[in-house]
Amino acid sequence: LKSSLEARLNKKIGNKNFSNYLHNLVDAGFIIRKEGAYQIVDPLLKHALYV
């Protein structure tokens, strides 16, 4: 995930920052961690990312 995001943004993201981003998204209910993988559960976020 991290390398894909860095490639898309064309900039480096520190490990701690990336971890904080993931935790914030989980806490906000946008994504969940299931069976060792993250899944987008928010329908609007999913639509925005895949348009």
Q: What is the pTM of this model?
A: 0.79
Is the pLDDT confidence value at 50 over 90? Answer: no
Reading the block at residue 24, the tokens are 């914030």
Find the domain containing 39 and state its range.
Answer: 2-49
Split into its structural domains, the chain has a count of: 1
Contacts with 5 (C-beta within 8 Å, 6 or more apart), sequence order: 13, 18
pLDDT recorded at residue 51? 75
Q: What are the start-end ranges of the E strands in 1-51?
A: 31-34, 37-40
- Neighbouring C-beta atoms of residue 48, cutoff 10 Å: 10
pLDDT tens by residue, 2-33: 999 999 999 999 999 999 999 999 999 999 99
CB-based contact 44:34 (threshold 8 Å): no
